[in-house]
Amino acid sequence: MTMTLTVFIGSLLAAMALGIPIAHALIMSGVALLIQMNMFDTQILASTLIDGADNFPLMAIAFFILAGELMNAGGVSKRIIAFAIALVGHVRGGLGYVAIVASLIFSGLSGSAVADTAALGAILIPIMVEAGYDRAMSAALIASAAIIPPIMPLSVPMIIFGVTGNVSIPKLFMSGIVPGVLLCLFLAGTWAWIARKQQFKVQPRATFAELMKATRGAVWAFVLPIIIIVGLRGGVFTPTEAASIAVFYALFVGAVVYRELTLAKISEVLVAAAKTTSVVMFLAAAAMISSWLIAVANIPAQLASLLAPMMNDKILLMFAINILVLLVGTAMDATPTILILTPVLMPIIQKAGIDPIYFGFMFVFNNMIGVLTPPVGTVLNVAAGVGKVAMEDIIKGVMP
């Protein structure tokens, strides 16, 4: 392993170990690399930082985050949950299936595991506890179900990967549909195995009239994903344009159809979305410094030489990369992992002849397993906070 790779990884890990925020740690590792390569110049830092944020496809992230916030505040989220309860609430362990079904529907709305965990958990966990469900297990199930949206269309991590790796975002979106549905089915099967031993209260079976009422209430939520998937698949609009359509749709439904979005609520939503977006955009900008220096220092070629014995065996290479991503994902959130590792791994993938769309899906999916895994486990932390559960309890619950 050469000095440049050692300096880059060592400085990044050292900064993170000191508790420095990821974005600042990325800038610091960039400075360390510049000094090691005898290229340090503040103008290079400033211009590269600006270039990292000045990226049109990244606007999709800001719009999707805003659309998700508008849907939560506008009453769309609670109507999705009401529909799911009417559909499967009467089955033993039915509220667990509600969480899974709601997560699948949410995948077309926010595309963010953290946002969906917060929205679903705040509404469902109190209902599940009241029905006799274990609080920690309820929070764990919602956390597990929340990794479905980021591998389905409108996924924010896929947008970040597509921009960073120069890969088609609509194709990445399409790649997640079947695996997302399969994940739902396997999660439901696991929950059925857990629920058969529990004495859960069941919700009364919804009458046909109640089911129709819940369906009418949620129908506006079902229309948006269909419009966006068909539009992206047909090439009618780009992911960024799709995100802006989602914002106007959410605003219209919340303010005009459900009439729950007031001016005061809209103001709060804009501030919340701006805060979340600024964190992601600053991360993207900081990662641009590392990405540029990784290319200049030829680190992918150095890493490729380490992986050379596996280059002729695609399965073995993917296995090694997946182990690497999983290990990194347990200690780092998905966004910085994607921003740091994508420019390093993409040249290796292309050289080995692996489909970048297939790799992109696997890469994002592996990162989603990471957000469920200690020590960082962003989604675990959010679910524990919303559900008022100790971290060690939710970790036990999420293992199945």
Spell out the SS3 assignment of 313-379: CHHHHHHHHHHHHHHHHHHCCHHHHHHHHHHHHHHHHHHHCCCHHHHHHHHHHHHHHHCCCCCCCHH
Q: How is residue 319 written in tokens?
A: 């296995």
pLDDT at position 299: 67
Question: Percent of the chain beyond pLDDT 70?
Answer: 93
* Domain tally, the chain: 2
Task: Give the model's pLDDT for residue 375.
Answer: 64
Do 246 and 139 reside in the same domain of the chain?
A: yes
260 contacts 254 by C-beta, under 8 angstroms = yes
Q: Are residues 93 and 177 in the same domain?
A: yes
User: How high does pLDDT run on average in the chain?
Assistant: 82
Return d(Cα 289, Cα 48) in angstroms, integer. Answer: 6
d(CA 108, CA 205): 27
Task: Write out pLDDT tens, residues 335-353.
Answer: 878 888 888 888 889 888 8
* Same domain, yes or no: 343 and 230: no
pLDDT value at residue 60: 75
Please determine, for residue 1, whether its predicted confidence score (pLDDT) is greater than 60. no
pLDDT higher than threshold 90 for residue 189: yes
Question: Do 232 and 291 lie in a common domain?
Answer: no
Point out the least confidently predicted range of 62-66, 191-195, 374-378.
Answer: 374-378
pLDDT tens digits, residue range 159-178?
889 988 889 988 998 899 89
Q: Please count the CA atoms within 13 angstroms of the CA of 227 that sit on its side-chain side.
A: 17
Give the residue with greater pLDDT, 51 vs 315. Answer: 315
Q: What pLDDT band is residue 313 in, cutting at 50, 70 and 90?
A: confident
- What average pLDDT does range 53-58 have in this prediction? 73
Write the CA distances from 251 to 111, 119, 241, 247, 328, integer angstroms. 17, 17, 15, 6, 38
Q: Find the farthest-apart pair of alpha carbons in the chain and give their distance in angstroms, rounded.
A: 73
Query: Can you spell out the DSSP letters for 55-70?
Result: -GGGHHHHHHHHHHHH
- CB 342, CB 165: distance < 8 Å: yes
3-state secondary structure of 199: coil
Could you tell me if 298 and 337 lie in one domain? yes
332 and 203 assigned to the same domain: no
Q: What is the pTM of this model?
A: 0.73
More confident residue, 398 or 301: 398
Q: Are residues 260 and 319 in the same domain?
A: no
Residue 145 has pLDDT above 60, yes or no: yes
Determine the average pLDDT of the residues in 61-85: 80
| pLDDT confidence of residue 37 | 81
175 with 242, same domain: the answer is yes
Q: What is the mean pLDDT of residues 80-93?
A: 80
Q: Looking at the structure, do residues 268 and 327 belong to the same domain, yes or no?
A: no
Cα(23)–Cα(11) distance, integer angstroms: 13
CB contact at 8 A, 43 and 90: no
* pLDDT at site 389: 85
pLDDT above 70 for 300: no
Question: Is 108 found in the same domain as 194?
Answer: yes
Range of the domain at 346: 3-55+284-370
197 and 257 within one domain: yes
Task: Please compute the mean of the pLDDT values over residues 46-63 and round it to a whole number.
Answer: 78
Q: Residues 6 or more apart from 120 whose CB is under 8 A from it?
A: 77, 81, 99, 102, 103, 106, 142, 145, 146
100 and 217 co-located in one domain: yes
Mean pLDDT value of segment 326-343: 79
